[in-house]
Amino acid sequence: DAEITQSPRHKITETGRQVTLACHQTWNHNNMFWYRQDLGHGLRLIHYSYGVQDTNKGEVSDGYSVSRSNTEDLPLTLESAASSQTSVYFCASSEVGGRGSTGELFFGEGSRLTVL
């Protein structure tokens, strides 16, 4: 079955370190997204991509970067981790919109990141 997987599921790091969270989907979806989820803020969009070599900033992109070198993967990099980036991170993917498409986003299980 097609799926979307995130790794690692849990990570503890120190302030200032570079961290990369992996996201891999096997649906061949063009659209991929990274969200963070925090109490009191809900899900907030960090970065998104509508295809290979395409990346776009979301509402909370400062301190994060992504790259899209193939259809299946959208890694999220924290260049210099900060305590404010302690959160649960969700990757999602969706097919290109069109007649008959529900616009559904398929989410991974999440990566819990703690920055000490």
Binding site for another protein (CB under 8 A): 30-31, 33, 35, 40-45, 48, 58, 90, 92, 94-98, 101-110
CB of 34 to another protein, least distance (A): 10
Nearer to another protein, 18 or 28 (CB): 28
**CA–CA separation, 73 and 35 (whole Å):** 15
- Structure tokens given for 53: 């070599």
CB of 43 to another protein, least distance (A): 4
First CA to last CA distance, the chain? 37
Nearer to another protein, 14 or 38 (CB): 38
Nearer to another protein, 40 or 53 (CB): 40
**CA–CA separation, 29 and 20 (whole Å):** 21
**Strand partners for 48:** 33, 56
